[in-house]
A and B are shown apart, each in its own frame.
Chain A
Amino acid sequence: MEDSQLLAFCLFFAVLGVMALFFLSLSLKPVEKSLNGLSGEDVGKIVLVKGMVSSVFQGSSFNSFDLCYSNCVKIMDFKKAFSVRQGWRVAVEGSVKEYNGELEIIAGSVEVLSS
């Protein structure tokens, strides 16, 4: 293969990849869900949920808190990146996992709505 052909193919595939990534990013936008609307079908999805913080736990390797509205879901913070307090209203974006039969959310970002 000539160098000019390699260059052309590489640019073509790179552009193709960018288009694929663009369409994938649209599907990766978090789905806004209510806390009582989460179900087993949401496992593996990225969701955005809002609620009030209760039961904050700070451990040696991770932090967690319960996010409640009409029911509560545990929010796991393995990066120990988010600092929240009981009573704050927050929006959490993260991936839904199932652990010991219970749904929990691995937090990717936490936005404080009111403190």
Chain B
Amino acid sequence: MFEELLAGFAAGFTGLFAFLHVNFLLQVFQPFFPAGFSKAVFASALTFSKTVFETIPTVFFIVPSASFGAALLPSQKLFLEGKGFFALKILIHSMFFAMVFSILSLPLVFLSLPFAFSLVKPVAGFALALIVLLSLASKERLFETVLVFSASGLVGLVVLTKPLVAEPLFPLLSGLFGIPALFFAFNASLPKAQAEAGAVKIGLKTVFAGVLLGAFSGVLPALTPAFLISMLFLVFDSTEKEKTFLEASAAVVVSKNFFDFASFFLIGKARSGAVAFASEELSVFPNLLAALIAASIALFAALAVVSVFSRLLSGIRPGKLFFVSIAAFVSIASFVLGGGAGLAVLATASALGLACGIIGVNKSSLMGCLIIPSLCFFFGIALF
């Protein structure tokens, strides 16, 4: 069991390459498993250590991950203001409290999740659609907002429902958010990076709310961490509330991954690739307990590593060469993941992201790329 924990934790360093998805990594590593290797412990340790290490490319290299997705935007904004170190501290401190709250709320979720599953399932799609409509209606420049939301939704539908690219989220989110940010920052005069951020005071209520959101999202399919964060972003319009949004995002990611394992045991539905990978073992309670303990160990150990080595990154000062390097890296990674189709997705999404920036519409509208495909799934609509 400890070999699996160490192996999963070490494999989590691949989070530094945000475009590598957990599902892909599990398939790569599986042939090397010896007989009797616990898939559940390995998958959970990998998932959680990778989630922590993904914070580094998300903040410092403006590269989105499947976990953090839309959290890229506020962390990107802070990084370009010279507060990248501050953004990283918010994320890792929030993840710490999120794991503590997740563990403490496990008995409550165990008792209430099956009931919540039967109650929410019939009306979830309608509730989500209503939240989306109300959020859009509250935005300024309604016509342009709806146009951008719909266009990004269309791109998302094509990219996420058709087998064009192995890891579609990476070129999609990089194009919509990463490349435009690099473009607009290229000629801007950026402040010097702040190496010290002081003590961070985390909003515990926000973290707890994020934990509950992530915990009960298991009652519904298609609610990935990236989707939940994009809903938060749409509702709270967090361009001015970066800290709150990052706290909530970190909490949602940690609790969603944590309770995906518990949800499978309780309601028999695998909500993530890691859980599906280890589903056979997770139907036995001691194995589930081992997976959850391994998850906690991997997360806390990874947080310790990041908190020690994060100072090495705090002095990163983005310049023209940095931006060009990141753009080249994203392009190469998109090509590796999907060939010409990956580059086409990147180019299309970049064009849309740039247009959004030029028009001056709030970037949260681009969340349509995740929200519309999920709503179509809920209502059983297949446009393509």
Contact = CB atoms under 8 A, between A and B. Distances in A.
A24 B289 contact: yes
A109 B289 contact: no
B36 A1 contact: no
B89 A17 contact: no
Contacts of B2: 18, 21-22, 25
B200 A1 contact: yes
Interface in A1-17: 1-3, 6-7, 9-11, 13-14, 17
A2 B96 CA distance: 13
B100 to A, nearest CB: 8
B383 interface: no
Contacts of B294: 17, 21
Size class of B's contact patch? Answer: 20 to 34
B151 interface: no
Nearest to B198: A2
Contacts of B93: 1, 6
Query: Which secondary structure dominates chain A's binding surface?
Result: helix
A24 B285 CA distance: 11
Contact of B36 (A3, A14, A109): A109
A60 B378 CA distance: 33
A14 B286 contact: no
Contact of A14 (B280, B284, B287, B300): B300
Contact of A1 (B35, B202, B308): B202
Given A6-B92, A6-B93, A18-B297, A24 B286 contact: yes
B290 A10 contact: no
B287 to A, nearest CB: 8
B280 A21 contact: no
B366 interface: no
B307 interface: yes
Contact of A21 (B89, B201, B290, B303): B290
Interface string B279-320: 010001111011001101100110110011000000000000
A11 B305 CA distance: 10
B25 to A, nearest CB: 19
Given A2-B199, A25-B290, A13 B35 contact: no
Contacts of A3: 89, 307
A35 to B, nearest CB: 20
B162 to A, nearest CB: 28
B290 A14 contact: no
Contacts of A108: 36
Contact of A10 (B201, B202, B293, B300): B300
B266 interface: no
Interface of A: 1-3, 6-7, 9-11, 13-14, 17-18, 20-22, 24-25, 27-28, 44, 46, 78, 81, 93, 95, 106, 108-109
7 contacts: A6-B303, A10-B96, A13-B300, A17-B300, A24-B286, A106-B280, A109-B36
